[in-house]
Structure 1
């Protein structure tokens, strides 16, 4: 008989690394859009508060999280930045994060998802496929 739970448990560290890479990449895209107007044009003036500075955090922390370097610290900063973004920018526009403001929501679903995924990474670490793992030379697992 196949023990599915044991097989899934064995894959969990690799899937954690995949989650880190994907969310780090997506976070980086928010930063590049704010800082470099790529891949989407956001036209945020250099130095404007708070959006441009949020873009810097998204770019730097996103890259660090994506490659798995200083993952716990970068994830802590990114998680906090997304909590601030939610309560400063999204929550005042409406109660429900699932919908954009034109439908009575606040458009904060991305901020919530990033906040909690990065909060998870603070506690789980980067997973086995990361620069942190190579840097500290700890065994995978």
Structure 2
């Protein structure tokens, strides 16, 4: 029998997928989700190589290699150093665009949640913190 926690997490996944679709905004060139995650990791944790970044973003090394190639071509990530295994850093423009994209996504969704009372909003904020903390725990 599936546990109550497993069912709740499955529901969160489905809701998260819907939230992602509803929050998509038009406009300028959108940073893809995995690239956005990589930019956030590099901005908060500093330069790292492809293998470490793949591990932090929970994707395979070949997937990250391809994403990095595309992100470099787009001007979102750059290599530091001339060596065979350079460290990667986000460009300032990518960091700014990621923040703007994140804020636009929140604004696109906000009207769907304005009817929530103060207690429900606090619960939602707490749930978001719990999820982030639980998902990042292994990298503490």
Q: TM-score range by the shorter chain?
A: under 0.3
TM-score between both structures, scaled by the size of structure 1: 0.25
TM-score between both structures, scaled by the size of structure 2: 0.25
Structure (1/2) with the larger strand percentage: 2
